[in-house]
């Protein structure tokens, strides 16, 4: 079926250290879609706010709040968008840290904090000598947006920096000890790839359980193209610690692009036929 689709690239601001890799997976996906006789028109995330789309079918890596809100408007009017902007919004930490535990996903204890100039954080239930401070909205723009801190004083210093930068919410999160695993997946495709980001213990774990938790997390958030991070404890239990809407798939791009394109094409055809 001949289709015309818009491909929306991610703003460089939301691709720290991954600008080229994010661009490569988007364009590699488009190349595969062209083999299905799909015409792809590219737009930058910034263009989303300043134009009306002629294309009703959209695949998007946009993450910025303004672009996501505009895409939500288009989706409500009937446009097909993958990943759905609702899913992208669910991946903002202020939403994710609530949605995943509420739905039974093992997840580190997290507290939402409203940032103001008078910062005094209650760390009851946390190890005050080792915990995380993370910005509450988009995943990361600067290195300091996800910081492991070792004291309440260091935490306050990071929060004050957030305040200066206009970040309104933060997440205080417990530190889970264990092996850090990064994974990439495409929903309903059978494609799942993982590797150690920090293989400190190399504890044996149940791979099927990791796949189950990652897939369930994606379903809860509404993601179709996704990745994330998990912790395998020294005892072998698995916790999800982060989910990402359409990561770069850099280590497995050549394989992933085919599964991503197949998913987009099949879902778009189903949308058009219905």
Q: List, for residues 53-101, the tens digit of each pLDDT value.
A: 789 999 999 999 999 999 999 999 999 999 999 999 999 999 999 999 9
Q: Which of 80-89, 137-146, 170-179 has the highest mean pLDDT?
A: 80-89
User: CA–CA distance from 27 to each of 24, 122, 207 (Å)?
Assistant: 5, 46, 31
Mean pLDDT (the chain, rounded): 91
Q: Is the pLDDT of residue 129 over 70?
A: yes
How far apart are alpha carbons 138 and 244 in whole angstroms? Answer: 10
The pair of three-digit structure tokens given for residue 153, joined into one six-digit string: 């004083």
The pair of three-digit structure tokens given for residue 106, joined into one six-digit string: 């093992």
CATH of 3-83+250-273, one of 3.40.50.11950, 3.30.300.20, 3.30.930.10, 3.40.630.30: 3.40.50.11950
* Maximum alpha-carbon separation in the chain: 60
Q: Is the pLDDT of residue 16 over 70?
A: no
Q: Is the pLDDT of residue 137 over 90?
A: no
- Domain locations along the chain: 3-83+250-273, 109-174, 179-245
**Is 3.40.50 the CATH classification of the domain at 109-174?**
no
Half-sphere exposure of 75 (CA within 13 A, CB side): 17
The neighbouring-strand residues paired with 229 are 182, 242
What's the Rg (C-alpha) of the chain?
A: 19
The reported pTM is 0.93
Contact 5, 59 (CB under 8 A): yes
Helix, strand or coil, per DSSP, at residue 250: helix
Residue found under tokens 């990652």 = 214
């Amino acid at each position: 079926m001949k289709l015309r689709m818009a491909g929306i690239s991610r703003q460089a601001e939301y691709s720290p250290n991954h600008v080229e890799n994010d661009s490569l997976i988007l364009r590699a996906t488009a190349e595969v879609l062209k083999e299905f006789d799909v015409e792809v028109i590219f737009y930058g995330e910034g263009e989303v706010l300043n134009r009306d789309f002629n294309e009703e079918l959209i695949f998007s890596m946009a993450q910025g709040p303004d672009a996501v809100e505009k895409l939500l408007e288009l989706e409500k009017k009937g446009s097909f968008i993958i990943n759905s902007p609702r899913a992208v919004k669910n991946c903002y930490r202020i939403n994710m840290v609530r949605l995943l535990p509420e739905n039974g996903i093992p997840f580190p204890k997290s507290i939402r904090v409203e940032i103001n100039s008078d910062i005094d954080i209650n760390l009851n239930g946390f190890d005050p000598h080792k915990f995380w401070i993370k910005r509450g909205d988009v995943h990361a723009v600067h290195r300091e947006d996800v910081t492991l801190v070792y004291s309440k004083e260091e935490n306050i210093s990071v929060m004050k920096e957030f305040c200066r930068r206009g970040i309104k919410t933060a997440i205080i999160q417990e530190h889970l000890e264990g092996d850090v695993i990064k994974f990439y997946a495409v929903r309903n495709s059978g494609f799942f790839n993982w590797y150690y980001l920090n293989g400190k213990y190399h504890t044996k774990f149940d791979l099927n359980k990791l796949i189950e938790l990652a897939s369930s997390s994606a379903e809860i958030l509404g993601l179709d193209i996704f990745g994330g991070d998990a912790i395998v404890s020294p005892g072998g239990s698995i916790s999800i610690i982060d989910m990402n809407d359409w990561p770069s798939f850099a280590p497995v791009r050549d394989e992933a692009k085919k599964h991503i394109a197949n998913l987009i094409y099949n879902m778009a055809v189903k949308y058009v036929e219905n």
